[in-house]
Every structure is written in C-alpha cells, then in structure tokens.
Amino acid sequence: MKLTIGKLAKQANVTIETIRYYQRKGLLDEPVKPVTGYRHYPTEAIARIRFIKRAQQSGFTLKEISDLLSLNSGHCEDVRKMAEQKRRQIDDQLKDLTALRQVLDNLVKGCQTDPSTEHCSLINALSTEPAANSDPSKK
C-alpha cells in the first residue's frame, strides 16, 4: 500500500510539516513526484517516523538519530555506546538542573514577602554581582 503525505502523517501521528522537516534533514526519503499525481510513500515510512519520534523522546537529537539510522541491527555495540553516551549527557544535565534548582530554592527562601517592602529581595539578589565561586550551578 502506498501512502500520500497526508495519510502517512495520520498513520504516523505527526504533521505533514514534520514529515517535510525530516525529509529536509535527510531522515526520511522524499519519493519522486509523478508528473500527474501525488508522491506516494511506502508503508515502511510509518515505522521509520515512529522510530524517529521514539528516539527523540529518549533524548536523542536529530543528528544522533541520523547516526542511529545509518547503523543497522548488526551494529548493536555501536548503538549501545551511543545510548550510554546519551545517558551520561542526561546525568550531567540532571546535575546541572539540580544545582540550578538549589540556587532558585535559596532565592525563593530569601525572598521577602512583606507587601510594605519597596524592593523585591529576589530581584535585588539577581541584580547584584555574586561573590566569586558562590554559584553552585557553576561548579
């Protein structure tokens, strides 16, 4: 069964623009357009789009997904290494986010909520230059 771009989008649960974007990025082949009629996509394109979406949900960038797609199931060790690297990146991001959360928690705790106060202490804290190495998010 061949699919028009609209039917492919519906079957893969994405928009037509998403399909076109994946084509521009080289993640999905664009079929030749016949002189009379519409391009027709193979049904395998549904599985490819779903793979791309699941990989994105797992944190992979489109470039990384392109690399994954260039490998096949015979390169399991390479795929595992890519997944481990992605996991390390996510761990680093979690550490950074945790540090940023602590900074915000400290700012919120120090925030004066007295309506008679003319200046917001949180705005003041963000407006002043911190002492060297006092920002835990930079460690």
- The domain locations on the chain are 2-70, 83-138
Report the pLDDT averaged over residues 19-35. 94
* pLDDT one-digit tens code per residue, 93-126: 999 999 999 988 888 887 766 666 677 777 777 7
* pLDDT one-digit tens code per residue, 35-73: 888 899 999 999 999 999 999 999 999 999 999 988 876
In CATH terms, the fold of domain 2-70 is Multidrug-efflux Transporter Regulator; Chain: A; Domain 2 (1.10.1660)
pTM exceeding the 0.75 threshold for the entire prediction: no
Q: Return phi, psi of residue 41, to 5°.
A: -100, 145
What distances in angstroms separate CA 22 from CA 17, 48, 56, 84, one per listed residue? 9, 10, 12, 25
| Residue 84 clears pLDDT 70, i.e. is over it | yes
Query: From the centroid of its chain, how far is CA 38?
Result: 32
